[in-house]
Chains A and B, each alone.
Chain A
Amino acid sequence: MMKKTVGLGVAASVVLAGGLAVAELREGYVYFEPSSEEHPLDEIISGREFRDDATRALQEDDFENPGFLSLEEGEELWSTVDGSENKSCESCHGDVAEGMAGVGSTYPKLMAQGGKTTLTNIENQINTCRTERMGAEAYKYDKPQLTGLTVLIKNVDRGEPVNVSTEGDYESWFKKGEELYYTRVGQLDMSCAHCHEEHYGEYIRADHLSQGQTNGFPTYRFKWQGMGSLHRRFSGCMKNIRGVPYAKGSDEFLALELYTAWRGQGLPVETPSVRN
């Protein structure tokens, strides 16, 4: 995977957790080569690059980044016994840094759930372990506990390249996600691609449009004054165009999650990111 920087005026350089040198650019941005020739984009850019200096600096500072409060909540839950089986996540998975290495960067994945194999993201997988293995109740989507554990698990892979599977049994999910990505919805009648493929880098009123990448989620967002899942963001984008969003955790959003993750294949995981 080649990493390039574009634009003028390299001001300073910082090093991310994964050892990637990232140029701090005021006008420019860091981009990656697409994973294949069929990729619809000719450069792949993290959402971080479209945010202002202060927001990026906050994301980079593990002490100040508010997403780490969520991570700490997840850390505590990881070793807390819950449910009728008297188990914690740790009872089965051990130390999170070892047990969950290589997980966050490769989801969504096909996993067994309720007796069948289906596309699963980290949030749904956590709930499967709770309901099927711990005798505990599922957490509701975007509740602080579910977000905290998701942040914890994704953060283990921070700096690792996003690497989802799209072939074999994944293909039908991938195609479904692709179709959703290009389908116009809502009274404003737009698709994800209109904003995030055709117009990234441009302003839509005061918003600087990114490629709608997923590598920073769950994210801390000023507007939310808190954390939010990727599906919350999908939902927000669909509501903004006066559409009816799919349910968080639904097959539609999972397919979209797989497809959008592939659009950012190779981007370093940045969880927890900070957004405005």
Chain B
Amino acid sequence: MSSPLWTYRMALGAAVAALTVATALAGTVGPGDVEIVDDSAIPASLTGVAGDPVAGKDVFTGRKLGNCLACHQVSSLMDEQQFHGEVAPPLDGVADRYSEGELRLQVVNSKVINEDTLMPAFYRVEGLNRVNEKFEGKTILTAQQVEDVVAYLQTLKE
């Protein structure tokens, strides 16, 4: 595990998990229980429900959801979305470069791969500092939204 501050496999106890995913459906993996393989991928779905790439695109572009375009560019979205960010790599062809499990880890917590990254961890609650109370104990995206975004990313082929 690259970050010494916290680890996913740590037995977090029910407290955090219960607090964080009050809305979790049976079968949904809480942010403290995600199974990361070799620090490089999360092969298993977080919900067991297949991701929907159409819903995933809305999560990807939604400013109050993933807001992924704040930092990344996607050529196929240029016509419908103004102002793509430049602070992170373009995602064209990302599905050719990474497996589904690698994409899932990148969205869930890219700090496992690169400790210094500016990319937020979209499915994580612990190890954060001075979180606004509106978001305290909440993940940025729900487990199903993560699955939907991963499904959308898998459509980005060149």
**Same assembly:** yes
Point out residues on A near B: beta carbons under 8 Å.
Answer: 183-190, 194-195, 198-199, 202-206, 209, 238-239, 242-244
Chain A at the B interface: mostly helix, strand, loop or mixed?
A: loop
Q: Known: A189-B121, A194-B118, A205-B69. Is A184-B129 also a contact (CB below 8 A)? A: yes
In chain B between 62 and 91, which residues have their CB closer than 8 angstroms to a CB of chain A? Answer: 63, 67, 69-71, 82-87
Complex Cα gap A196–B141 (Å): 26
Nearest residue (CB) in B for A238 is B130
Nearest Cβ on chain A to B84's Cβ, whole angstroms: 8
Tell me how far the C-beta of B94 lies from the nearest C-beta in chain A, rounded to whole angstroms: 19
A205-B69, A205-B85 as given contacts; A199 in contact with B130, CB under 8 Å:
no
- The binding surface of chain B is classed by DSSP as loop
Q: Once the chains are docked, how many angstroms separate the CA of A81 from the CA of B107?
A: 60
Minimum CB–CB distance from B56 to chain A (whole Å) comes to 19
Contact of A204 among B63, B71, B133 (CB under 8 A): B71
List the 7 closest pairs (A to B, CB-CB), nearest first: A194-B118, A206-B83, A202-B86, A187-B135, A199-B87, A205-B70, A188-B120
Residues of B close to A198: CB separation below 8 A: 118
Report how far A239 CA is from B130 CA in the complex, Å: 10
B70 touches A243 (CB 8 A): no
Task: Confirm or deny: B23 has a beta carbon within 8 angstroms of a beta carbon on chain A.
Answer: no
10 extra A-B contacts, CB within 8 A, seeds A189-B120, A204-B86: A184-B129, A185-B131, A187-B120, A187-B131, A203-B83, A203-B86, A204-B70, A204-B87, A206-B83, A243-B131
Find the A residue at minimum CB distance from B131: A187
